Structure 1
Amino acid sequence: MTVPLPIIWMNGPFGIGQTQAAQVLHTRLPGSFLFDPEEMGRALKKLTPRFSGDLQTHPMWIPLMLDALQFAVKQADGPLIVPMPLTDVARHRRLLSGLKDRGMAVHHYTLLAPVEVVQARLRRHDPPVSWEAGEVEQRLKAFSGEAFARHLTAGECSPDAIAEEIAADLGLTLKPAQKEPLRWLKALGSRR
């Protein structure tokens, strides 16, 4: 019996850096595939008349995610890396249990950082995101619950350090870190 390839789900509040860490992990983990749920969300928005709001509330989002991830796991040569904030506990439970019910090994990591760090990252975002400290605190508090464990401290950690912590936890071997500045940005641009 073959062991299913793992899905590495990287969760956390917007601006925490899960996309950057996921890109670094993908770059350093041979055979991995970066699965971006935002692409599916954009397609759902374009294909559904009169739908507005949070794409994760779309009635087709979870069923499509389950099918797409199951298909991608069968096609992939290595782990799937999924950077996606998912704060709703019921939706989170439904999605992850649905993946496990289909025989997929899911390893879930939630990145957390102090409020000031998240706010600073949001201000640097293009375009800048202006959330009040109270809203950032609420989102961080939601993610700090047991349902979203395993927690990783992303505060001053580099994306490489986060990728290395996840790889060590899963017993995966990474290629050496590249020293080229902004390599994750170049790699992201090459995906488009």
Structure 2
Amino acid sequence: MSQETDRAKAIRLEREYRDALKAEADYNLLDPLRGELAETYRRILQTDPDNADTLTALAVLLTTDVQLPDGESVELLRRVFDMDRADEDACEALVSLLEALSEEEEADEVYRLASEAGNLQATFELAARFDERGDLEEAEPLYRRAAEAGNAHAVANLAALLEERGDHEAATALRNGEGARPS
């Protein structure tokens, strides 16, 4: 009989763990499964340290309701994010964890780095964060950049921002599809 590979073992354990969570299994069943799965992920990472899927899976596992998010989870997701800062999923996973830890400034920095790497969703999200804080001078150029790239939410938010500022003509032009040009 052949020995199960770590990747095959991880797939089997992921399924068992997911099924146990769905069944609302008791901690005494979940904890050992979680531990075995974490160790399997760590073995995979020993031979393939830049495996983004495994890094992400381990980070997510470490942030389940069984355990509160921790520094290791942030570090794992930061490694995945640093591999490709334009990747929307990596950015969103890291920002979600940082927000859960109330690390708002770090979340802004992740969005800024992702935006600079060409992640237009991050550009929009960063603009929205500035907008929510009332920092319209920071929000406007970010909304404009995302709107110019075709982000419909950015177009709507930029038009609303222009409207609030009293620039009704520019807001109307923007809503009529005449672009996100400077007013």
TM-score (norm 1): 0.28
Which structure's CA Rg is the greater one?
2
Q: Of Structure 1 and Structure 2, which has the larger fraction of its residues in strand? A: 1
Q: TM-score, normalised by structure 2?
A: 0.29
